[in-house]
Structure 1
Amino acid sequence: MPDLQPNPWRDDRCQKLRFADDGRIPNNPDFPALACAGALPAAGLTPEAAIALLRRNGWGGAWTNGVFSYHHYHSRAHEVLVVTGGGALLRLGGEAGEDVRVTAGDLLLLPAGTGHRRLDADAAFTVVGAYPPGQEDYDVLRGDPAERPAALERIGALPIPPTDPLYGGEGPLLGCWR
């Protein structure tokens, strides 16, 4: 079977979402969250193929599961989520954020600090998550005030990933952060 390849880049299919710090979920002051519909061909998309593509582009720490039903964010890592099956309604940006519907083939690129949670999902909903090189030791934070000062410091110190998770090199996804 040939290696999985992303669909050709289409700027009009990738939303750039910015969220303010809500006092609990910091979100990211520098980079937008990206919600890209149809980034990968949905037909025949498997978690294994998505993981192999992400690994080829230097992203590791991959896992396959769903998205937590509670608001959370990562302060030690940027995160890519590839929907490999089914569909879901997610909330990005914390309680006052934005609802985003995702289906197989869609991608989310979440900069460190971006709140996310699952509001609803069908039984087939499956997602692959992965992290840039050196950020595979991610954390899961829920907005505890005691964790906030250190989390904000870590978020501000994280660099732009060295490679685009789907297109490799300095691909179009990372171009949205430059």
Structure 2
Amino acid sequence: MYNDSKHGFDAAQTRYEAFMLEPHEWVPNSRKLPVIIYRGALASDSGDLAAAFEILFEGNAWPPQWRDGIFDYHHFHATAHEVLGVTDGSAEVIVGGPGGRVVNLSAGDALLLPAGTGHCLQSFARHFQVVAGYPAGQQWDIRREALTPNEQAAMEALPFPAMDPVDGKRGPLIDHWLHVA
């Protein structure tokens, strides 16, 4: 498990929430895997949160691929699971597609989205920014319409990551995702 107090990560201090989402209109969500929110994955006052999340995700085999905000339109990724580490500001994000669940995120939090999970920025404060990581070997796409049956089957067959992006070999991904593999 990655445990680096220099960058503000302390597994004992991280709390998480996990919840399931049903398919909704054109958004498939995941029938097997919960969304996971890590509260305080990194201490909000631990310096350069973007660099710290990049080190954390890289160390847990979820290589970071970009830094930016979250799109303000509903979309999902069918070809990769995604973890978003909040590096600045706070936001309300809709997960699950139009009419979905609104979650509040703040600097230091991380949001783990199984492939197919709809998400959309609803509102934000300050300069809201995230770092995005994806399991090694998975490349993200952007989808805004229903999947074909073959695309749905390919999404559901995506390999499970070997490690939790925040807690490494332990943590909620291991507890909630790998038991369904």
Is the TM-score greater than 0.5?
yes
* Runs of 4+ that moved beyond 4 A: none
- Where 1:151 maps in the other structure, the secondary structure is helix
> Which residue does the alignment assign to 2:96?
93
- Where 1:54 maps in the other structure, the secondary structure is helix
Report the number of matched residues: 174
Which deviates more, 40-49 or 164-173? 164-173
Q: 1:98 to 1:138 in 2, by over 3 A?
A: same
Q: 1:9 to 1:96 in 2, by over 3 A?
A: farther
Partner amino acid for 2:66? W
Offset at 1:133?
A: 1.1
Structure 1: distance between partners of 2:73 and 2:58: 28
Q: How does 1:144-155 map to 2 (within 5 A)?
A: 145=146, 147-155=147-155
Structure 1: distance between partners of 2:148 and 2:25: 9
Q: Does 1:125 align with 2:122?
A: no
Offset at 1:26?
A: 0.3
> Which residue does the alignment assign to 1:60?
63
CA deviations 1:36-95 (Å, max 9, x no partner) are 211211112421121111111111142100100011111111000110110010000011
Q: 1:6 to 1:176 in 2, by over 3 A?
A: farther
Any unmatched runs of 5+ in structure 1? none
> Which residue does the alignment assign to 1:32?
34
> Which residue does the alignment assign to 1:106?
109
Q: Which residue, 133, 138, 141 being the options, matches 1:139?
A: 141
> Which residue does the alignment assign to 1:51?
54
Offset at 1:27?
A: 0.1
**Structure 2 length-normalised TM:** 0.87
Q: 1:9 to 1:30 in 2, by over 3 A?
A: farther
CA deviations 1:2-48 (Å, max 9, x no partner) are 7525232468x322121111130000011000112112111124211
Any unmatched runs of 5+ in structure 2? none
